A and B are shown apart, each in its own frame.
Chain A
């Protein structure tokens, strides 16, 4: 399995095929003397921002500090053993509603969109 070709930046879907963002990062666990192990996939703005550059990462972290909930301060991780299928999409054995990936969109919905008539 090739991490760059098959996993990074691929669409993640939950067990109900609902979209869960894209794989923004993959965490490798390094134990001295043993091969690095794929331990988590990361989904979130901080991980993505870090790929662009240090300053971008700092900016996103600042935004999250100002506007985000406590659990938004660190990238969201899905343990590798939760990954069910790897094809055109990466299917994980979770329900997106139980994860924080949509937190900011839920906030948007509750605070802004619900207030606008006809949504």
Chain B
């Protein structure tokens, strides 16, 4: 059973964890070549990933580190198999928030 979804419509969608908490919004989709196809490896959530998408300058990262320090904005790395896209408008996390890797500053 092959379904099709549009990646650009996933961007900005809020992802809910199993306990109902918000894990952040999908800000980036990372893909890598696997054999002859380009396959999605993971999704990046949260405000940190948004800055990453804006290809931030040292200025942007500094801004974010500043906010990060005050507890605003968290970024999560979600492997492809941990995101349930049965309803593309309501993506669901298939594991607990605590199991996710956070996005670290480069």
Asked if A and B form a direct contact in the complex, defined as CB atoms under 8 angstroms apart, the reply is yes
User: Which segment, of B15-23, B25-33, B60-68, faces chain A?
Assistant: B25-33
User: Which segment, of A11-19, A32-40, A91-99, faces chain B?
Assistant: A32-40
Q: CB of B5 within 8 A of chain A?
A: yes
A interface, how many residues as a size bin? 20 to 34
Question: Which residue of A29, A34, A38, A51 contacts B9 across the interface (Cβ within 8 Å)?
Answer: A51
Question: Which residue of B6, B34, B55 contacts A35 across the interface (Cβ within 8 Å)?
Answer: B34
A28 close to B53 (CB less than 8 A): no
Closest approach, in angstroms, between the C-beta of B51 and any C-beta of chain A? 11
Question: Which residue of B5, B36, B81 contacts A28 across the interface (Cβ within 8 Å)?
Answer: B5
B29 close to A35 (CB less than 8 A): no
| Known A2-B30, A3-B28; contact A37-B6, beta-carbon cutoff 8 A | no
Question: Which residue of A4, A35, A37, A39 contacts B53 across the interface (Cβ within 8 Å)?
Answer: A4
> With A and B bound together, what is the CA distance between A8 and B9 in angstroms?
11
A8 close to B7 (CB less than 8 A): yes
Question: Which residue of A1, A5, A25, A30 contacts B38 across the interface (Cβ within 8 Å)?
Answer: A1
A30 close to B39 (CB less than 8 A): no
- For B29, the closest partner residue in chain A by CB is A3
| Known A2-B29, A38-B31; contact A27-B4, beta-carbon cutoff 8 A | yes
> With A and B bound together, what is the CA distance between A39 and B3 in angstroms?
11
Q: CB of B94 within 8 A of chain A?
A: no
Question: Which residue of B11, B27, B39, B81 contacts A38 across the interface (Cβ within 8 Å)?
Answer: B39
Residues of chain A whose beta carbon lies under 8 Å from any beta carbon of chain B: 1-5, 8, 24-32, 34-39, 42, 47, 50-51, 80-81
In the complex, 20 of the A-B residue pairs with CB atoms within 8 angstroms, ordered by the A residue number, are A1-B32, A3-B29, A4-B8, A4-B29, A4-B53, A8-B7, A8-B8, A8-B11, A26-B8, A27-B7, A28-B5, A28-B6, A29-B2, A30-B3, A35-B39, A38-B7, A38-B37, A47-B8, A50-B6, A81-B36
